[in-house]
Structure 1
């Protein structure tokens, strides 16, 4: 039987990149997937591709920074799709500016990154929490190598802080929800080639080299490299795993 048969899985930031890959992977393993993205058109197109490949998918527009919208979408999903048993908090942004730039830029980066990458995880999780507790569900949060380290590239302290926060939130929630049978884990991607960093990769090959020189596998990751860990953490294969982070970083943190 497929790993995720009879599950309904919600994936945020599912219109492209890692989120889209995870949604497609879950659908292949039998889940009915709900793709959420601030870009409604991208989410709808990704859902169509899944449906055309024989999977079951729905999409909704969602700005994870709006608690009211998260609650409203959770109700829509319950009414139109069913009871959610898997949540993947993937939506996020990255900006590579430090603390010493223009004051307005520093403040804007902090507010936007924390609002999406950290508070957004809280907002979506809280909105779906009732359904996840009822289903003894699974939550998978997308962290980063920057849940542990500040990488050796120009990189926003806000991004590092947000991903440290995601890991802390994962552990705290796992401890609180364990008694309800809800498992909460995270994935720590390394340097993954996604639309989020496409412009940076094209304009600054030296930055890419810094990452690859520090990665034992010697290559950048692809969104599909995150699908396996996401399937493991959402399925019964990880039935005794909670409060953990699975690193998918090509070995970055080993050196």
Structure 2
């Protein structure tokens, strides 16, 4: 039997990259996937790819920074799709302005990144929490190697703070919701090739070399490298795993 049969899984930021890969992987394992993204066309494309492959999927537009919209979305999904038992908080953005940059850029980075990467995780989780508690659900948050350290090149204090926050939120929720049978874990990606960092990879090959020199596996990651960990943490295979972060960083944090 597929590992996620009879589950309804919500994946945020699933219009591309890691979110799209996880959504497709969940569908292959039997889950009915709710694809959420701020870009409705991208969400619909992901859902259509899943349907074309024989899976089950619905797509909706959602800005995770809007708390009331998240609450409305949880109700809409419950009414139109069913009871959610898996939530993947993947939606995220990056910014590369350090604290010594232009004031407007620094402030914009901080407000936007915290709004999406941290407040957005709270907003979506809080909105879907009643369903997850009722169904002894599973939450998978997308952290980062920057949940543990700050990468100086390029500087990104807002992103680092947001991903530290995601890990702290994961552990706090795991401790609080364990009594309800809800498991909460995170994945810590390393350097994953996505559209978000495409321009940086193209314009700054030395940055890529720096990452690779610190990565024992000697390669950058692909979105598909996150699928196995995401399936594991959402499945019964991880039935006694909560409050953990599963690193998918090519060994970056080991050296």
Q: Is TM more than 0.5 here?
A: yes
Q: TM-score, normalised by structure 2?
A: 0.99
In structure 2, the partner of 1:158 is: 158
In the alignment, the residues of structure 2 paired with residue 64 and residue 127 of structure 1 have an alpha-carbon distance, to the nearest angstrom, of 10
Deviation at 1:97, TM superposition (A): 1.5
After TM superposition, which residue ranges in structure 1, 4 or more long, deviate above 3 angstroms?
none
C-alpha deviation, 1:31, in angstroms: 0.1
TM-score by length of 1: 0.99
Q: Distance in 2 between matches of 1:99 and 1:212?
A: 26
Count matched residues: 255
Match of 1:191 in 2: 191
Taking the aligned partners of 1:13 and 1:108, their CA distance within structure 2 comes to 21
Match of 1:122 in 2: 122
Is the partner of 2:151 in helix, strand or coil?
coil
Query: Which residue pairs with 1:179 in the alignment?
Result: 179
CA distance in 1, matches of 2:79, 2:200: 41
Over aligned residues, Cα RMSD in angstroms? 0.5
- 1:91 corresponds to which residue? 91
CA distance in 2, matches of 1:83, 1:155: 41
Q: Distance in 2 between matches of 1:196 and 1:84?
A: 28
Deviation larger for 205-214 or 136-145: 205-214
Paired residue for 1:57?
Answer: 57
2:201 counterpart of 1:201 = yes
Partner of 1:72: 72
SS at match of 2:160: helix
- In the alignment, which residue of structure 1 is the partner of 2:43? 43
Of the structure 1 ranges 145-154 and 22-31, higher mean CA displacement relative to structure 2 is found in 145-154
1:152 offset after TM fit, Å? Answer: 3.9
Unaligned runs of 5+ in 2: none
Cα distance between partner residues in 1 of 2:220 and 2:37: 25
User: Take 2:219 and 2:110, find their aligned partners in 1: how far apart are those partners?
Assistant: 30
Structure 2 counterparts to residues 205-244 of structure 1, below 5 A: 205-244=205-244
Name stretches of at least 5 consecutive residues in structure 1 with no aligned partner: none
Shift of the alpha carbon at 1:155?
Answer: 2.4
Q: Please give the per-residue CA displacement for 1:146-200, whole angstroms capped at 9, x wherever unaligned.
A: 0001124112100000000000000000000000000000000000000111111
- 1:50-101 deviations in Å (ceiling 9; x for gaps): 0010000000000000001101111110011000000000000011111100
Alpha-carbon distance between aligned partners in 2 of 1:206 and 1:80, rounded to the nearest angstrom = 48
What is aligned with 1:101? Answer: 101
Secondary structure of 1:58 counterpart = strand
